[in-house]
């Protein structure tokens, strides 16, 4: 039987918050993945459309991407949900095209990973537990509507900075999930890459009794999918258990 070679994955991550989720996932899968994470820069740590648009600008992405050149990565992710969906589908396509041209490997964004992951788990009706302010959370709902994903419930925690989101612990995340999972949904989406989630995916699905998709989880899944090395894995939620 052919043994799959370890994946070499690149992640562009704005600032410092929950980036340790990515090397953790690299160790949780078999075979372990080689994770290259680059912190990108921005002018302001704020969940506002203006700040997020600057954070996800071509200049910021391509500046960060230079640090991934020559490392032999097989896929690259722009690992911010909000700093891609606030730019709309055209903006996301520009981000992906620019990264693919610079690095010569498949690219995607966390927002696109969510759309694909929802389809992969065949979720028709979803709920959203967002840490963002309300206006940004609504933009995520609008983004999902492009893919005929029915958002039946959404909440907004109203946290302005990614740094603050990164301080939320296990109990905070479990409470956020539990309070925002109506009975009639097929999946709960938690869209902020600044929020730790990976160590608690199994517990999140147990407490909500549904499929849970988190930003860092779907980003890692998408990176593996892009380079053709996505295989069933335990401990990383329903999304990783059965690969369509």
At 56 the pLDDT is 96
In the chain, what are the domain boundaries?
Answer: 8-112+217-236, 120-214
* Cα–Cα distances in angstroms (integers) from residue 236 to residues 6, 80, 212, in the given order: 17, 19, 10
Instruction: Tell me if 8-112+217-236 shares its fold with 120-214.
Output: yes
Q: pLDDT tens digits for 151-209? A: 999 998 888 788 889 899 999 999 999 999 998 999 999 999 999 999 999 999 999 99
87-97 pLDDT, tens digit per residue, is 999 999 999 99
CATH architecture for the domain at 120-214: 3-Layer(aba) Sandwich (3.40)
Which pLDDT band holds residue 1 (cuts at 50, 70, 90)? very low
- Name the phi and psi angles at 133, rounded to 5: -65, 160
Give residue-wise pLDDT tens across range 107-157: 999 999 999 999 999 999 999 999 999 999 999 999 999 999 999 999 988
pLDDT for res 203: 97
The pLDDT tens digits for 14-63 are 999 999 999 999 999 999 999 999 999 999 998 999 999 999 999 999 99
Q: Residue 99 and residue 116: Cα distance in Å, rounded?
A: 19
- Domain boundaries 8-112+217-236, corresponding CATH code: 3.40.50.12500
3-state secondary structure labels for all residues of the chain:
CCCCCCCEEEEEEECCCCCCHHHHHHHHCCCCCEEEEEEECCCCCCCCHHHHHHHCCHHHHHHHHHHHCCCCCCEEEECCCHHHHCCHHHHHHHHHHHHHHHHCCCEEEHHHHHHHHHHHCCCCEEEEEECCCHHHHHHHHHHHHCCCCEEEEEEECCCCCHHHHCCCCHHHHHHHHHCCCCCCCCEEEECCCCCCCHHHHHHHHHHHCCEEEEHHHHHHHHHHHHCCCCCCCCCCCHHHHCCC
């Amino acid at each position: 039987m052919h043994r799959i070679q370890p994946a070499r994955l690149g992640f562009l991550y704005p600032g410092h918050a929950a980036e340790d989720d990515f090397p953790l996932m690299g160790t949780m899968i078999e075979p372990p993945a080689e994770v290259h994470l680059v912190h990108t820069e921005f002018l302001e740590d704020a969940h506002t459309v203006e700040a997020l648009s600057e954070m996800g600008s071509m200049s910021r992405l391509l500046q960060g991407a230079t640090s991934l050149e020559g490392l032999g990565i097989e896929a690259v992710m722009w690992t911010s949900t909000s700093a891609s969906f606030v730019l709309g589908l055209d903006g996301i396509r520009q981000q992906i095209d620019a990264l693919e041209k610079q690095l010569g490997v498949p690219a995607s964004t966390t927002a696109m990973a969510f759309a694909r992951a929802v389809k992969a788990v065949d979720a028709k009706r979803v709920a959203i537990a967002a840490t963002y302010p309300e206006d940004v959370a609504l933009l995520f709902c609008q983004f999902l509507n492009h893919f005929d994903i029915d958002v039946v419930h959404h909440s907004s925690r109203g946290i302005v900075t990614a740094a603050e989101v990164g301080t939320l612990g296990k109990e905070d995340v479990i409470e956020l999930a539990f309070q925002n999972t109506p009975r009639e949904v097929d999946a709960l989406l938690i869209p902020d890459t600044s929020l730790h989630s990976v160590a608690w995916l199994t517990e999140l699905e147990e407490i909500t009794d549904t499929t849970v998709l988190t930003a860092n989880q779907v980003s890692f899944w998408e990176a593996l999918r892009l380079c053709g090395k996505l295989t069933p894995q335990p401990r990383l939620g329903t999304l990783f258990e059965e690969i369509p």
